[in-house]
Amino acid sequence: ESHKLTSKTEKTIECDECGKHFSHAGALFTHKMVHKEKGANKMHKCKFCEYETAEQGLLNRHLLAVHSKNFPHICVECGKGFRHPSELKKHMRIHTGE
């Protein structure tokens, strides 16, 4: 039982925004979402739809996946284009009967 008491009191990571302490990085990461929800960090908004995210990289990925007109992976059987090789591979199943 003393082990349980010790592990609960050993909080080693401090939030730089509010000073609260956490026992591991995952808990701190989850906690930091509270600050993001309060508007502490800028939200990146898509100019084509309602999508928004706190991370620029996720917005970039969204733009490519949803709004890009680039389809470089072309099916040799029917000419249909795909953004990713995995999509083309999945599509090829309709031609091979798999």
Domain-wise residue ranges, the chain: 2-37
CATH of 2-37, one of 3.30.420.40, 3.30.160.60, 3.40.50.300, 3.40.50.2300: 3.30.160.60
State the pLDDT at residue 55: 83
> CA-CA distance, 34 to 21, in Å (whole number)?
14
The half-sphere exposure of 83 on its side-chain side, counting CA atoms within 13 A, is 10
* CB burial of residue 30 (10 Å; 0-12, 13-18, 19+): exposed
- pTM of this structure: 0.40
**CA-CA distances (angstroms) from residue 48 to 21, 53, 56, 71, 72?**
40, 14, 15, 19, 22
Greatest distance between any 2 Cα atoms in the chain: 69
In this structure, how many other beta carbons lie within 10 angstroms of the beta carbon of residue 86?
A: 10
Question: What residue has token string 């080693």?
Answer: 12
- pLDDT tens for the chain, 98 residues: list them: 444 444 455 557 887 777 888 888 888 888 777 766 665 567 889 999 999 888 888 898 888 888 888 888 999 999 998 888 999 999 999 999 87
